[in-house]
Amino acid sequence: MGLFFISKMQLDNIIVKSHEPVRLDRYIRRFYPNITQGVIEKSLRNEQIKLNGKKVKSSARVIDDDVITIVAGIFGKDEDVIEKKIFSQNAISLAGKLLSDYLLFSNEDFIAINKPAGLAVQGGSKISLSIDESLAYINSTQNASYKLVHRLDKDTSGVLLIANGFDSAAKLGKAFHDHLMAKCYIALLSGVPKELNGTIENNIGKDRSGIFEIVRELESGGKLAKTNYKILKYNKGVSLVEFQPETGRMHQLRFHAKFLGCPIIGDVKYGGKPHSNMLLHAQKLTISKDVFGKEIIIKSKLPDAFDEFDLKNN
């Protein structure tokens, strides 16, 4: 009887379009962004949501051509079902800046912004304002679907891509994974490396043994981190370096600057001299023509803090 009853209900089918595996609950939120996690979990337990006709957990992964079946009407407008989104005035104000003051590039697939130092990309227990929160406000008020596809550390400034729509997010995510994005960073270092150009390559991993969570070189385990560098200018124990990372590990450039014996100015976590800002800037990002059919180069001007130091050409 139970199966017969369910079969007579009106069902909504969602055909998954994602080249990379995505958690089922996260994919459902693409279509119902304000549904509470509790409602999703309960609906899965009651088999009101199925994946390819089977009962699954919210952590199940979906990919291209999977079918999510949802009993129509279970996501009503009751306040116990819908999450109430309350955005701070700071988040609303930042939303306006993301689409104006900070905007570097815009097309139908994505936008690129010039993220200032000190602004977090994603929220957390100690984060009062983030780009992700402001994107949620834009999405809820402008019928948009902006999505983060990569990160910059809170204290790193520069070029940050934001996908427009889920297909574009999948395409950009795959491009980062397939190394079709060339990233160039500029930093000011405490000291001048012995070699003015070269490649740093080692395995690094998280170290939580101290006051801060940092990364360190590991003799076994860890993940490969590879960075090409070139000193552009130097003077009086300070050098301007160009970093071109070939991998994208947590704190990779910050650790590799320390590895050179010349930590980034303002990066006290890795031994840099104190400064009002960490002087690491994502200056340029080049998207291969294989991604959108033509090469796209996005550049960002160095912050004024870089002008405080009297450097000469190498």
- Residues recognised as catalytic: 153
Q: In Å, how far are 34, 49, 148, 291, 298 from 295, measured between CA atoms?
A: 36, 42, 21, 8, 10
Cβ neighbours around 210 below 10 Å, total: 9
b (16+ CB within 10 A) / e for 22-43:
bebbebbebebeebbeebbeeb
**DSSP annotation of 251:** T
3-state SS, 101-149, equals: CCEEEECCCEEEEEECCCCECCCCCCCCCEHHHHHHHHHHHHCCCEEEC
DSSP-based three-state secondary structure for 259: helix
**DSSP annotation of 307:** G
